[in-house]
Structure 1
Protein backbone atom coordinates (compact mmCIF):
# COMPACT_ATOMS: atom_id res chain seq x y z
CA UNK A 1 0.00 0.00 0.00
CA UNK A 2 1.40 3.43 -0.93
CA UNK A 3 1.82 6.06 1.81
CA UNK A 4 -0.98 8.09 0.24
CA UNK A 5 -3.34 5.10 0.26
CA UNK A 6 -2.34 4.28 3.84
CA UNK A 7 -3.06 7.84 4.97
CA UNK A 8 -6.45 7.92 3.23
CA UNK A 9 -7.46 4.54 4.61
CA UNK A 10 -6.56 5.66 8.13
CA UNK A 11 -8.60 8.85 7.69
CA UNK A 12 -11.58 6.85 6.48
CA UNK A 13 -11.35 4.59 9.54
CA UNK A 14 -11.59 7.73 11.65
CA UNK A 15 -14.62 8.94 9.70
CA UNK A 16 -13.02 11.99 8.13
CA UNK A 17 -11.26 13.25 5.02
CA UNK A 18 -7.48 13.43 4.83
CA UNK A 19 -6.02 16.95 4.82
CA UNK A 20 -2.33 16.09 4.71
CA UNK A 21 0.28 13.60 5.88
CA UNK A 22 4.00 13.23 6.35
CA UNK A 23 6.37 10.40 7.12
CA UNK A 24 7.65 10.01 10.65
CA UNK A 25 11.21 9.03 11.47
CA UNK A 26 12.01 5.34 11.64
CA UNK A 27 9.86 3.13 9.48
CA UNK A 28 12.55 0.66 8.42
CA UNK A 29 10.07 -2.21 8.52
CA UNK A 30 6.73 -0.45 8.03
CA UNK A 31 5.33 2.89 6.94
CA UNK A 32 4.58 5.27 9.79
CA UNK A 33 2.76 8.50 8.98
CA UNK A 34 1.47 11.52 10.84
CA UNK A 35 -1.91 12.34 9.35
CA UNK A 36 -3.99 15.48 9.73
CA UNK A 37 -7.70 15.23 9.10
CA UNK A 38 -10.05 17.78 7.59
CA UNK A 39 -11.65 18.27 11.00
CA UNK A 40 -8.28 19.18 12.54
CA UNK A 41 -7.53 15.95 14.36
CA UNK A 42 -4.10 14.32 14.13
CA UNK A 43 -3.17 10.66 14.41
CA UNK A 44 -0.43 8.20 13.54
CA UNK A 45 -1.11 5.66 10.79
CA UNK A 46 1.00 2.52 10.54
CA UNK A 47 1.24 -0.41 8.21
CA UNK A 48 2.93 -3.57 9.45
CA UNK A 49 2.98 -7.33 9.41
CA UNK A 50 -0.20 -7.65 11.49
CA UNK A 51 -1.92 -4.41 12.61
CA UNK A 52 -4.54 -6.19 14.70
CA UNK A 53 -1.84 -8.13 16.55
CA UNK A 54 0.12 -4.96 17.22
CA UNK A 55 -3.05 -3.37 18.56
CA UNK A 56 -3.52 -6.31 20.94
CA UNK A 57 0.07 -5.93 22.13
CA UNK A 58 -0.31 -2.20 22.77
CA UNK A 59 -3.52 -2.86 24.66
CA UNK A 60 -1.73 -5.46 26.79
CA UNK A 61 1.00 -2.94 27.62
CA UNK A 62 -1.52 -0.24 28.51
CA UNK A 63 -3.45 -2.66 30.73
CA UNK A 64 -0.40 -2.96 33.00
CA UNK A 65 -0.34 0.80 33.62
CA UNK A 66 2.78 1.30 31.48
CA UNK A 67 2.37 4.16 28.98
CA UNK A 68 1.33 3.32 25.42
CA UNK A 69 -0.50 5.18 22.64
CA UNK A 70 -4.26 4.79 22.51
CA UNK A 71 -5.65 2.70 19.65
CA UNK A 72 -8.02 4.82 17.58
CA UNK A 73 -8.85 2.34 14.82
CA UNK A 74 -7.50 -0.83 13.25
CA UNK A 75 -8.20 -3.17 10.37
CA UNK A 76 -6.19 -5.85 8.58
CA UNK A 77 -3.93 -3.32 6.84
CA UNK A 78 -3.77 -0.18 9.00
CA UNK A 79 -3.29 0.66 12.65
CA UNK A 80 -4.31 4.20 13.70
CA UNK A 81 -2.87 5.47 16.96
CA UNK A 82 -2.98 8.49 19.20
CA UNK A 83 -0.24 10.97 18.39
CA UNK A 84 1.98 11.09 21.45
CA UNK A 85 3.65 14.34 22.47
CA UNK A 86 7.35 13.95 21.72
CA UNK A 87 9.39 16.94 22.77
CA UNK A 88 12.29 14.68 23.76
CA UNK A 89 14.39 14.57 26.88
CA UNK A 90 15.03 11.48 28.97
CA UNK A 91 13.53 9.97 32.10
CA UNK A 92 15.57 6.94 33.21
CA UNK A 93 13.85 6.51 36.57
CA UNK A 94 10.38 6.87 35.04
CA UNK A 95 11.31 4.33 32.35
CA UNK A 96 12.51 1.96 35.06
CA UNK A 97 9.18 2.25 36.86
CA UNK A 98 7.27 1.75 33.60
CA UNK A 99 9.23 -1.42 32.81
CA UNK A 100 8.67 -2.72 36.32
CA UNK A 101 4.91 -2.25 35.87
CA UNK A 102 5.04 -4.01 32.52
CA UNK A 103 6.98 -6.97 33.84
CA UNK A 104 4.65 -7.52 36.78
CA UNK A 105 2.07 -8.79 34.29
CA UNK A 106 2.60 -12.49 33.73
CA UNK A 107 1.42 -15.35 31.60
CA UNK A 108 1.17 -19.05 32.25
CA UNK A 109 3.68 -20.12 29.59
CA UNK A 110 6.42 -18.63 27.41
CA UNK A 111 5.35 -17.19 24.08
CA UNK A 112 2.33 -15.39 22.65
CA UNK A 113 -0.98 -16.44 21.19
CA UNK A 114 0.22 -15.78 17.65
CA UNK A 115 3.46 -15.47 15.73
CA UNK A 116 4.66 -12.05 14.64
CA UNK A 117 7.45 -10.63 12.46
CA UNK A 118 10.08 -7.99 12.01
CA UNK A 119 9.47 -7.32 8.33
CA UNK A 120 10.47 -10.55 6.53
CA UNK A 121 11.97 -12.13 9.68
CA UNK A 122 9.45 -14.35 11.46
CA UNK A 123 9.06 -14.22 15.24
CA UNK A 124 8.02 -17.68 16.39
CA UNK A 125 5.89 -17.49 19.52
CA UNK A 126 4.38 -20.96 19.97
CA UNK A 127 3.75 -21.61 23.67
CA UNK A 128 6.42 -23.49 25.59
CA UNK A 129 6.76 -24.61 29.21
CA UNK A 130 10.58 -24.63 29.23
CA UNK A 131 12.36 -21.29 28.94
CA UNK A 132 15.77 -22.54 27.67
CA UNK A 133 13.95 -24.58 25.02
CA UNK A 134 11.88 -21.55 24.00
CA UNK A 135 14.92 -19.28 23.77
CA UNK A 136 17.05 -21.84 21.98
CA UNK A 137 14.46 -22.92 19.42
CA UNK A 138 12.29 -19.83 18.89
CA UNK A 139 14.91 -17.10 19.24
CA UNK A 140 18.32 -18.52 18.28
CA UNK A 141 18.40 -21.72 16.20
CA UNK A 142 15.48 -20.55 14.05
CA UNK A 143 18.00 -18.21 12.37
CA UNK A 144 20.57 -20.91 11.57
CA UNK A 145 19.41 -21.56 7.97
CA UNK A 146 19.92 -17.87 7.18
CA UNK A 147 23.36 -17.34 8.78
CA UNK A 148 26.93 -17.55 7.46
CA UNK A 149 27.86 -21.24 7.90
CA UNK A 150 30.77 -20.49 10.24
CA UNK A 151 28.42 -19.05 12.86
CA UNK A 152 26.07 -22.03 13.04
CA UNK A 153 28.25 -24.49 15.05
CA UNK A 154 28.97 -21.78 17.62
CA UNK A 155 25.28 -20.99 17.92
CA UNK A 156 24.43 -24.67 18.24
CA UNK A 157 27.04 -25.11 20.97
CA UNK A 158 25.49 -22.27 22.93
CA UNK A 159 21.95 -23.58 22.50
CA UNK A 160 23.00 -27.04 23.65
CA UNK A 161 24.29 -25.48 26.87
CA UNK A 162 21.30 -23.19 27.57
CA UNK A 163 19.84 -25.49 30.26
CA UNK A 164 23.00 -24.74 32.27
CA UNK A 165 22.92 -21.02 31.54
CA UNK A 166 19.28 -19.92 31.72
CA UNK A 167 16.72 -20.49 34.45
CA UNK A 168 14.32 -23.28 33.52
CA UNK A 169 11.18 -21.57 34.81
CA UNK A 170 11.58 -17.81 35.26
CA UNK A 171 8.36 -15.88 35.82
CA UNK A 172 6.72 -15.42 32.36
CA UNK A 173 6.69 -11.62 32.39
CA UNK A 174 4.97 -9.57 29.70
CA UNK A 175 7.79 -8.31 27.47
CA UNK A 176 7.78 -5.36 25.12
CA UNK A 177 9.94 -7.53 22.87
CA UNK A 178 11.66 -4.78 20.84
CA UNK A 179 12.81 -2.44 23.55
CA UNK A 180 15.45 0.01 22.36
CA UNK A 181 15.73 3.75 22.75
CA UNK A 182 13.87 4.51 19.52
CA UNK A 183 10.77 2.71 20.79
CA UNK A 184 10.46 4.90 23.89
CA UNK A 185 8.78 8.26 23.26
CA UNK A 186 9.83 11.05 25.60
CA UNK A 187 8.03 14.31 26.13
CA UNK A 188 9.84 17.04 27.98
CA UNK A 189 11.57 14.65 30.36
CA UNK A 190 8.81 12.11 30.87
CA UNK A 191 7.95 8.79 29.23
CA UNK A 192 5.00 9.46 26.93
CA UNK A 193 4.72 5.93 25.58
CA UNK A 194 6.26 2.61 24.59
CA UNK A 195 5.72 1.98 20.89
CA UNK A 196 6.31 -0.66 18.19
CA UNK A 197 6.06 -3.71 20.47
CA UNK A 198 6.68 -7.35 19.61
CA UNK A 199 5.19 -8.71 22.83
CA UNK A 200 5.42 -12.17 24.29
CA UNK A 201 5.82 -13.69 27.76
CA UNK A 202 9.34 -14.52 28.83
CA UNK A 203 12.19 -13.75 31.21
CA UNK A 204 12.07 -10.05 32.12
CA UNK A 205 15.84 -9.77 31.60
CA UNK A 206 15.29 -9.99 27.83
CA UNK A 207 13.86 -6.47 27.66
CA UNK A 208 16.61 -5.13 29.91
CA UNK A 209 19.34 -6.74 27.82
CA UNK A 210 17.98 -5.30 24.59
CA UNK A 211 17.60 -1.86 26.13
CA UNK A 212 21.36 -1.97 26.81
CA UNK A 213 22.38 -3.29 23.37
CA UNK A 214 22.57 0.01 21.48
CA UNK A 215 22.73 2.40 24.43
CA UNK A 216 22.03 2.75 28.13
CA UNK A 217 18.86 4.05 29.78
CA UNK A 218 20.82 6.33 32.10
CA UNK A 219 21.36 6.73 35.85
CA UNK A 220 18.38 6.03 38.00
CA UNK A 221 16.87 3.37 35.73
CA UNK A 222 18.11 0.36 37.65
CA UNK A 223 17.23 1.76 41.04
CA UNK A 224 13.69 2.47 39.87
CA UNK A 225 13.29 -0.89 38.13
CA UNK A 226 14.67 -3.07 40.89
CA UNK A 227 17.74 -5.09 41.77
CA UNK A 228 19.19 -7.55 39.26
CA UNK A 229 18.59 -11.26 39.63
CA UNK A 230 21.61 -13.40 40.53
CA UNK A 231 23.55 -14.24 37.38
CA UNK A 232 21.96 -11.55 35.23
CA UNK A 233 25.30 -10.26 33.94
CA UNK A 234 26.19 -13.70 32.57
CA UNK A 235 22.91 -13.88 30.63
CA UNK A 236 23.01 -10.47 28.95
CA UNK A 237 24.96 -11.58 25.86
CA UNK A 238 22.71 -14.60 25.40
CA UNK A 239 19.63 -12.40 25.38
CA UNK A 240 21.25 -9.75 23.18
CA UNK A 241 22.02 -12.37 20.55
CA UNK A 242 18.43 -12.49 19.35
CA UNK A 243 18.16 -8.83 18.28
CA UNK A 244 21.72 -9.05 16.92
CA UNK A 245 20.77 -12.02 14.74
CA UNK A 246 17.63 -10.23 13.57
CA UNK A 247 19.70 -7.19 12.61
CA UNK A 248 22.16 -9.38 10.73
CA UNK A 249 19.33 -10.88 8.70
CA UNK A 250 17.53 -7.60 8.10
CA UNK A 251 20.40 -5.23 7.48
CA UNK A 252 23.30 -7.37 6.37
CA UNK A 253 26.93 -8.18 7.07
CA UNK A 254 27.61 -4.97 8.99
CA UNK A 255 26.05 -6.71 12.02
CA UNK A 256 28.11 -9.90 11.77
CA UNK A 257 30.75 -8.45 14.09
CA UNK A 258 28.09 -7.77 16.72
CA UNK A 259 26.88 -11.37 16.54
CA UNK A 260 30.41 -12.76 16.70
CA UNK A 261 31.28 -10.50 19.61
CA UNK A 262 28.26 -11.65 21.61
CA UNK A 263 29.03 -15.30 20.87
CA UNK A 264 32.56 -14.68 22.14
CA UNK A 265 31.27 -13.02 25.31
CA UNK A 266 29.00 -16.04 25.78
CA UNK A 267 32.06 -18.28 25.58
CA UNK A 268 31.46 -20.06 22.28
Structure 2
Protein backbone atom coordinates (compact mmCIF):
# COMPACT_ATOMS: atom_id res chain seq x y z
CA UNK A 1 0.00 0.00 0.00
CA UNK A 2 1.10 3.57 -0.70
CA UNK A 3 2.78 4.93 2.46
CA UNK A 4 0.40 7.91 2.60
CA UNK A 5 -2.62 5.61 2.25
CA UNK A 6 -1.24 3.43 5.04
CA UNK A 7 -0.89 6.50 7.25
CA UNK A 8 -4.52 7.40 6.58
CA UNK A 9 -5.64 3.83 7.27
CA UNK A 10 -3.90 3.95 10.65
CA UNK A 11 -5.56 7.27 11.49
CA UNK A 12 -9.04 6.11 10.47
CA UNK A 13 -8.76 2.58 11.80
CA UNK A 14 -9.76 1.00 8.49
CA UNK A 15 -7.97 0.21 5.25
CA UNK A 16 -9.07 1.36 1.80
CA UNK A 17 -9.90 -1.14 -0.90
CA UNK A 18 -8.88 1.28 -3.66
CA UNK A 19 -6.31 4.08 -3.81
CA UNK A 20 -6.21 6.60 -6.68
CA UNK A 21 -3.55 9.31 -6.97
CA UNK A 22 -4.91 12.80 -7.65
CA UNK A 23 -3.19 15.92 -8.89
CA UNK A 24 -2.01 17.70 -5.76
CA UNK A 25 0.07 20.46 -7.28
CA UNK A 26 3.84 20.49 -7.01
CA UNK A 27 4.20 20.44 -3.24
CA UNK A 28 2.04 17.58 -1.92
CA UNK A 29 0.85 14.05 -2.66
CA UNK A 30 -2.93 13.61 -2.75
CA UNK A 31 -4.86 10.31 -2.88
CA UNK A 32 -8.53 9.38 -3.03
CA UNK A 33 -9.32 6.42 -0.80
CA UNK A 34 -12.34 4.17 -1.35
CA UNK A 35 -13.49 1.89 1.44
CA UNK A 36 -15.43 -1.38 1.39
CA UNK A 37 -18.74 0.36 2.16
CA UNK A 38 -18.34 2.66 -0.86
CA UNK A 39 -17.42 5.75 1.17
CA UNK A 40 -14.43 7.83 0.13
CA UNK A 41 -11.93 10.23 1.66
CA UNK A 42 -9.00 12.36 0.51
CA UNK A 43 -5.58 12.12 2.13
CA UNK A 44 -2.87 14.68 1.57
CA UNK A 45 0.74 15.09 2.64
CA UNK A 46 2.25 18.54 2.97
CA UNK A 47 4.61 20.77 4.91
CA UNK A 48 2.46 20.75 8.04
CA UNK A 49 -0.79 18.76 7.89
CA UNK A 50 -1.87 19.70 11.42
CA UNK A 51 -1.54 23.41 10.64
CA UNK A 52 -3.46 22.99 7.38
CA UNK A 53 -6.19 21.17 9.31
CA UNK A 54 -6.55 24.14 11.66
CA UNK A 55 -6.82 26.46 8.65
CA UNK A 56 -9.55 24.35 7.04
CA UNK A 57 -11.46 24.42 10.32
CA UNK A 58 -11.11 28.21 10.46
CA UNK A 59 -12.54 28.54 6.96
CA UNK A 60 -15.49 26.28 7.81
CA UNK A 61 -16.11 28.19 11.04
CA UNK A 62 -16.36 31.43 9.02
CA UNK A 63 -19.29 29.98 7.07
CA UNK A 64 -17.32 29.48 3.86
CA UNK A 65 -16.94 26.01 2.32
CA UNK A 66 -13.98 23.76 3.02
CA UNK A 67 -13.51 20.00 3.41
CA UNK A 68 -14.27 18.60 6.84
CA UNK A 69 -11.14 17.32 8.58
CA UNK A 70 -11.58 13.60 9.37
CA UNK A 71 -8.17 12.97 10.94
CA UNK A 72 -4.63 14.29 10.87
CA UNK A 73 -1.14 13.95 12.28
CA UNK A 74 2.28 15.32 11.36
CA UNK A 75 2.43 13.19 8.19
CA UNK A 76 -1.09 13.17 6.75
CA UNK A 77 -4.33 15.12 6.55
CA UNK A 78 -7.48 13.07 5.88
CA UNK A 79 -10.43 15.09 4.58
CA UNK A 80 -13.97 14.80 3.35
CA UNK A 81 -14.21 13.98 -0.37
CA UNK A 82 -16.38 16.69 -1.95
CA UNK A 83 -17.92 16.74 -5.45
CA UNK A 84 -16.29 18.65 -8.28
CA UNK A 85 -17.61 18.96 -11.82
CA UNK A 86 -14.91 21.02 -13.51
CA UNK A 87 -14.26 24.70 -14.04
CA UNK A 88 -16.06 27.66 -12.51
CA UNK A 89 -19.35 28.54 -14.19
CA UNK A 90 -20.64 32.10 -14.01
CA UNK A 91 -22.94 31.04 -11.15
CA UNK A 92 -20.07 29.38 -9.31
CA UNK A 93 -18.02 32.57 -9.66
CA UNK A 94 -20.91 34.40 -8.01
CA UNK A 95 -21.00 31.86 -5.20
CA UNK A 96 -17.25 32.30 -4.73
CA UNK A 97 -17.80 36.05 -4.39
CA UNK A 98 -20.44 35.49 -1.71
CA UNK A 99 -18.36 32.96 0.20
CA UNK A 100 -15.19 35.02 0.02
CA UNK A 101 -17.09 38.00 1.41
CA UNK A 102 -18.22 35.71 4.24
CA UNK A 103 -14.64 34.54 4.85
CA UNK A 104 -13.32 38.10 4.96
CA UNK A 105 -16.07 39.15 7.38
CA UNK A 106 -14.33 37.00 9.98
CA UNK A 107 -11.72 39.28 11.51
CA UNK A 108 -8.92 39.15 14.04
CA UNK A 109 -7.38 41.79 16.27
CA UNK A 110 -3.96 41.81 14.57
CA UNK A 111 -2.31 40.86 11.27
CA UNK A 112 -0.68 37.44 11.10
CA UNK A 113 -1.31 33.90 12.36
CA UNK A 114 -0.38 31.92 15.43
CA UNK A 115 2.28 29.93 13.55
CA UNK A 116 4.42 30.29 10.45
CA UNK A 117 3.70 28.11 7.43
CA UNK A 118 5.42 27.27 4.12
CA UNK A 119 5.03 26.69 0.42
CA UNK A 120 7.53 23.87 -0.01
CA UNK A 121 10.90 25.30 1.00
CA UNK A 122 9.59 28.88 0.95
CA UNK A 123 8.69 30.01 4.45
CA UNK A 124 5.52 32.00 5.13
CA UNK A 125 6.28 34.24 8.08
CA UNK A 126 3.21 35.19 10.05
CA UNK A 127 4.65 37.17 12.96
CA UNK A 128 1.90 39.31 14.49
CA UNK A 129 1.78 43.01 13.61
CA UNK A 130 -0.53 45.91 14.41
CA UNK A 131 0.63 47.86 11.34
CA UNK A 132 -0.38 46.36 7.99
CA UNK A 133 2.32 47.94 5.74
CA UNK A 134 4.94 46.81 8.26
CA UNK A 135 3.54 43.27 8.17
CA UNK A 136 3.70 43.19 4.38
CA UNK A 137 7.22 44.58 4.28
CA UNK A 138 8.77 42.41 6.99
CA UNK A 139 6.86 39.14 6.60
CA UNK A 140 6.43 39.14 2.83
CA UNK A 141 8.52 41.36 0.52
CA UNK A 142 11.73 41.42 2.58
CA UNK A 143 11.39 38.13 4.47
CA UNK A 144 13.95 36.16 2.43
CA UNK A 145 15.66 38.85 0.36
CA UNK A 146 18.99 37.00 0.34
CA UNK A 147 17.36 34.11 -1.54
CA UNK A 148 16.42 36.34 -4.51
CA UNK A 149 18.44 37.61 -7.48
CA UNK A 150 20.44 40.68 -6.46
CA UNK A 151 18.78 42.78 -9.16
CA UNK A 152 15.54 42.60 -7.14
CA UNK A 153 17.03 43.69 -3.81
CA UNK A 154 17.01 47.46 -4.30
CA UNK A 155 13.55 47.64 -5.97
CA UNK A 156 12.02 45.52 -3.19
CA UNK A 157 13.67 47.62 -0.49
CA UNK A 158 12.36 50.79 -2.16
CA UNK A 159 8.83 49.39 -2.38
CA UNK A 160 8.95 48.27 1.26
CA UNK A 161 9.93 51.78 2.30
CA UNK A 162 7.07 53.24 0.24
CA UNK A 163 4.36 50.87 1.55
CA UNK A 164 2.91 53.29 4.14
CA UNK A 165 1.88 55.52 1.23
CA UNK A 166 0.62 52.64 -0.93
CA UNK A 167 -1.35 50.45 1.50
CA UNK A 168 -3.90 51.26 4.21
CA UNK A 169 -2.33 51.35 7.66
CA UNK A 170 -5.10 49.45 9.44
CA UNK A 171 -7.61 47.69 7.17
CA UNK A 172 -9.86 45.08 8.80
CA UNK A 173 -7.75 42.04 9.72
CA UNK A 174 -9.79 39.63 7.58
CA UNK A 175 -9.38 35.88 7.58
CA UNK A 176 -7.55 35.18 4.30
CA UNK A 177 -7.37 31.98 2.32
CA UNK A 178 -3.81 32.98 1.50
CA UNK A 179 -3.34 31.13 -1.81
CA UNK A 180 -6.57 31.83 -3.66
CA UNK A 181 -6.13 30.87 -7.30
CA UNK A 182 -8.70 28.89 -9.25
CA UNK A 183 -6.84 25.61 -8.74
CA UNK A 184 -7.70 25.91 -5.05
CA UNK A 185 -11.41 26.44 -5.69
CA UNK A 186 -13.66 23.40 -6.17
CA UNK A 187 -17.07 23.85 -7.80
CA UNK A 188 -19.98 21.47 -8.26
CA UNK A 189 -22.05 22.97 -11.06
CA UNK A 190 -23.37 26.38 -9.93
CA UNK A 191 -22.14 26.04 -6.36
CA UNK A 192 -18.78 26.26 -4.65
CA UNK A 193 -17.85 22.90 -3.12
CA UNK A 194 -14.80 24.02 -1.20
CA UNK A 195 -11.82 26.24 -0.79
CA UNK A 196 -8.80 23.95 -0.49
CA UNK A 197 -5.03 24.13 0.13
CA UNK A 198 -5.20 27.22 2.35
CA UNK A 199 -2.32 29.26 3.75
CA UNK A 200 -4.46 31.29 6.13
CA UNK A 201 -3.63 34.39 8.12
CA UNK A 202 -5.36 37.62 9.08
CA UNK A 203 -4.73 40.52 6.70
CA UNK A 204 -6.18 42.89 4.13
CA UNK A 205 -8.92 41.10 2.16
CA UNK A 206 -7.55 42.49 -1.10
CA UNK A 207 -4.64 40.05 -0.81
CA UNK A 208 -6.98 37.21 -1.83
CA UNK A 209 -8.45 39.32 -4.62
CA UNK A 210 -5.01 40.07 -6.02
CA UNK A 211 -4.04 36.39 -6.02
CA UNK A 212 -7.29 35.54 -7.78
CA UNK A 213 -6.31 37.95 -10.58
CA UNK A 214 -2.64 36.91 -10.88
CA UNK A 215 -3.19 34.17 -13.47
CA UNK A 216 -6.71 35.00 -14.70
CA UNK A 217 -9.75 37.19 -14.27
CA UNK A 218 -12.82 36.53 -12.11
CA UNK A 219 -16.13 36.60 -13.97
CA UNK A 220 -18.33 39.70 -13.50
CA UNK A 221 -20.62 37.61 -11.27
CA UNK A 222 -17.82 37.38 -8.72
CA UNK A 223 -17.54 41.16 -8.39
CA UNK A 224 -21.31 41.57 -8.25
CA UNK A 225 -21.42 39.33 -5.17
CA UNK A 226 -18.18 40.33 -3.49
CA UNK A 227 -18.30 44.04 -4.31
CA UNK A 228 -15.88 46.15 -6.37
CA UNK A 229 -12.37 47.02 -5.17
CA UNK A 230 -11.79 50.52 -3.88
CA UNK A 231 -9.99 53.34 -5.66
CA UNK A 232 -6.28 52.74 -6.17
CA UNK A 233 -6.77 49.00 -6.64
CA UNK A 234 -4.34 48.52 -9.58
CA UNK A 235 -1.36 49.67 -7.48
CA UNK A 236 -2.34 47.67 -4.41
CA UNK A 237 -2.99 44.64 -6.64
CA UNK A 238 0.57 44.84 -7.98
CA UNK A 239 1.95 45.16 -4.44
CA UNK A 240 0.01 42.11 -3.29
CA UNK A 241 0.77 40.06 -6.42
CA UNK A 242 4.48 40.70 -6.02
CA UNK A 243 4.82 38.28 -3.14
CA UNK A 244 3.29 35.23 -4.92
CA UNK A 245 5.48 36.14 -7.90
CA UNK A 246 8.49 35.97 -5.57
CA UNK A 247 7.27 32.61 -4.22
CA UNK A 248 6.94 31.22 -7.76
CA UNK A 249 10.40 32.54 -8.60
CA UNK A 250 11.90 30.71 -5.64
CA UNK A 251 9.96 27.49 -6.18
CA UNK A 252 10.06 27.19 -9.96
CA UNK A 253 13.00 29.25 -11.15
CA UNK A 254 13.98 32.28 -13.19
CA UNK A 255 11.10 31.96 -15.67
CA UNK A 256 9.11 33.97 -13.08
CA UNK A 257 11.68 36.78 -12.83
CA UNK A 258 10.02 38.75 -15.61
CA UNK A 259 6.65 38.54 -13.81
CA UNK A 260 8.18 40.00 -10.66
CA UNK A 261 9.86 42.78 -12.64
CA UNK A 262 6.64 43.63 -14.50
CA UNK A 263 4.83 44.01 -11.19
CA UNK A 264 7.64 46.11 -9.74
CA UNK A 265 7.34 48.45 -12.73
CA UNK A 266 3.67 49.04 -11.88
CA UNK A 267 4.39 50.25 -8.33
CA UNK A 268 5.27 53.95 -7.89
CA UNK A 269 8.09 54.53 -5.40
| Pair in the same fold by TM > 0.5 | yes
| Structure 2 match to 1:36 | 34
Verify: 1:133 aligned to 2:134, yes or no.
Answer: yes
Question: Residues 141-220 of structure 1: matches in 2 within 5 Å?
Answer: 141-220=142-221
| Structure 2 match to 1:80 | 78
- Alpha-carbon separation, structure 2, partners of 1:80 and 1:131: 34
- Alpha-carbon separation, structure 1, partners of 2:141 and 2:31: 33
Matched residues, number:
266
- Alpha-carbon separation, structure 2, partners of 1:260 and 1:230: 24
- Alpha-carbon separation, structure 2, partners of 1:223 and 1:234: 22
| Structure 2 match to 1:19 | 17
TM-score w.r.t. the length of structure 1 is: 0.96
Q: Deviations over 1:36-91 (max 9, x none)?
A: 22343211001111111101100000011111011111111110000110112421
Q: Deviations over 1:143-192 (max 9, x none)?
A: 31111101110111100100111111111000000000000001123110
Unaligned runs of 5+ in 1: none
| Structure 2 match to 1:260 | 261
- Alpha-carbon separation, structure 2, partners of 1:214 and 1:230: 22
Q: Deviations over 1:231-268 (max 9, x none)?
A: 22220000000100000000001100100000011136
| Structure 2 match to 1:48 | 46
State the Cα RMSD in Å.
1.2
SS of structure 2 residue aligned to 1:185: strand
Moved more, 39-48 or 49-58: 39-48
Give the C-alpha shift of residue 118 in structure 1. 0.4
Q: Would you say the 8 A contact 1:96–1:225 is kept in 2? A: yes
Give the C-alpha shift of residue 13 in structure 1. 1.3
Unaligned runs of 5+ in 2: none
